A and B are shown apart, each in its own frame.
Chain A
Amino acid sequence: MIEIKNIQKSFKGKQVLHGIDATFESGKTNLIIGSSGTGKSVLLKCLVGLVKPDEGDVLYNDRNFTRANKELQTEIRREIGMLFQGSALFDSKNVEQNIMFPLDVLSDMKLEEKKDRVNFCLQRVGLENVNHLMPSEISGGMKKRVGIARAIVNKPNYLFCDEPNSGLDPMTSITIDDLIAEITEEYKITTIIVTHDMNSVIEIGQKVIFLHKGLKLWEGDKDNITNSDVKELNEFVFANRMMKLIK
């Protein structure tokens, strides 16, 4: 479980996050949604320690990450897997080396064990015989899958996904969403996804947090998101015609 308390962050005097509180449960896909520029990615970066919040705490199973010393922060980070918006695969390494990388630097496994684990993860994300391809030789959807495989290879307790569907076609987006949801349930990990894709909310949003101008305006699940009386959330949810039709 991840708990955040009163997270505040400002850049050059401009407040981006205004005291966000939330709890993200294990074995669930938690979505942080909102329009562009509302502070979703900043909140995600605060959660994984890429950005230090000005105020507030992030607790991983009651371990305070924000106030932890470097050793504890490193220990917690090694329980984290993250899928980046652009996949962030290492250009100089092939698919196999990319997925094996966390094992190379964080585990004592033998080469054969590492290869078995890599192949298992590749199979799990629906990829085979791509081990020796370079990131520049695979499609955007495949990069996302490789990114997911790299994120789960070290058996993380927490999975973070930053805009997992950006730049993907609708079919591939659904596949990626389903894959993340399956992995979350299968390994009982705490998954937090930042997205502005309503399809993802409808598909896998077990818990949803809506941010608007750095404020948490709504919290709930996918089933009651369409019944909210929060004006900003309704504008966001029913922005596209398909959602209007559903309504």
Chain B
Amino acid sequence: MRSLGKFLIFISSLFVRRESFSTYFKLTIDECIKVGYNSILIVAIVSTFMGAVTTIQTAFNLVSPFIPDYVISLVVRDMTILELSPTIIAIVYAGKVGSNIAGELGTMRITEQVDALEVMGLNASSYLVLPKIIASVLMFPALVIFSAFLSIYGGYLTSVFTGLISGYDYIYGIRAEFIEFNIFFALIKAFVFAFLVAAISAYKGFYTKGGALEVGQSSTAAVTNSCIAILCADYLLAQLLLG
């Protein structure tokens, strides 16, 4: 509870004594490149293989002749949009971006760079952390959409090249019984996960004490705590919005 209280105080400190809009705008653009653009490759690789493997495993399990082939891609689509792209990519994102945020802020803390900002009269937490959270909340939903597209496309390539189902059946299944709310649900999850990863990682990094060993520990704690928070939020959102 004490940590939660400290975390909430940390979050509220981001919104006091802020700098000018132009300062944050420039920093946010830089962070968008770091957290979004620089994550495209890993998201693309994970998503394509995720879709491919999901297609093979779904086909492996749906062996009844009474189930039409297109159901495979329908299942892949819904699994991708509802769960795999937002959640698995969020965990990958926590590993890549979360550890980076915690490591960067932790190093700045132990090398007195954070103190230097405070002495200059800046609100260091707001200056350093707010752009990271804004960038994360802006870019991660885009990454999730990109991931869902590539995952479904990866499934299509697997279907066509291995002959599991025809390209026509795969596309038919993708379009069948489509529920638009699922996209909305995936985006809500993406917003929540993006905030959790950036805020938890920044909190862990910002309050690092000690030396290089502690920076490593902060990075590890940032990733593990983010993953746990993602899974808890995943359950809560599913219960609230789909239950």
- Which A residues are within 8 Å of any B CB, using their own CB? 48-50, 70, 73-75, 77-78, 80, 82, 84-86, 88-91, 101-102, 104-106, 160
Contacts and interface: CB of A to CB of B under 8 A. Distances in A.
Given A74-B17, A105-B23, A88 B121 contact: no
A84 B127 CA distance: 20
Contacts of B122: 105
Closest 10 CB pairs of A and B: A77-B121, A88-B112, A88-B116, A78-B121, A74-B121, A84-B112, A82-B119, A88-B113, A48-B119, A50-B115
B116 A106 contact: no
Contact of A88 (B16, B19, B23, B111): B111
B67 interface: no
Contacts of B127: 105
Interface string B103-121: 0000110011101101111
A50 B121 CA distance: 11
B112 A85 contact: yes
A48 B107 CA distance: 21
A110 to B, nearest CB: 14
Contact of A80 (B16, B111, B112, B119): B119
Given A70-B17, A105-B19, A105-B23, A86 B119 contact: no
8 contacts: A77-B118, A77-B121, A78-B121, A85-B112, A88-B112, A90-B108, A105-B120, A106-B121
A193 to B, nearest CB: 15
Interface residues on B, range: 10 to 19
Interface of B: 16-17, 19, 23, 107-108, 111-113, 115-116, 118-122, 127
Nearest to B20: A105
Contact of B116 (A49, A82, A104): A82
Contacts of A48: 119
Q: Most chain-B CB neighbours within 10 Å: which of A77, A90, A105, A160?
A: A105
Nearest to A154: B120
Contacts of A50: 115, 118-119
Chain A contact residues: helix, strand, loop or mixed = mixed
A78 B112 contact: no
Contacts of B19: 105
Contacts of B119: 48-50, 77, 80, 82, 160
Contacts of A160: 119
A140 B194 CA distance: 39
B121 A84 contact: no
B111 A86 contact: yes
A12 to B, nearest CB: 13
A111 B113 CA distance: 24
A48 B121 CA distance: 10
B118 A84 contact: no
A113 to B, nearest CB: 17
A82 B108 CA distance: 16
A97 to B, nearest CB: 12
Contacts of A77: 118-121
A63 to B, nearest CB: 14
Contacts of B107: 91
Nearest to A92: B104
A100 to B, nearest CB: 12
A49 B112 CA distance: 14
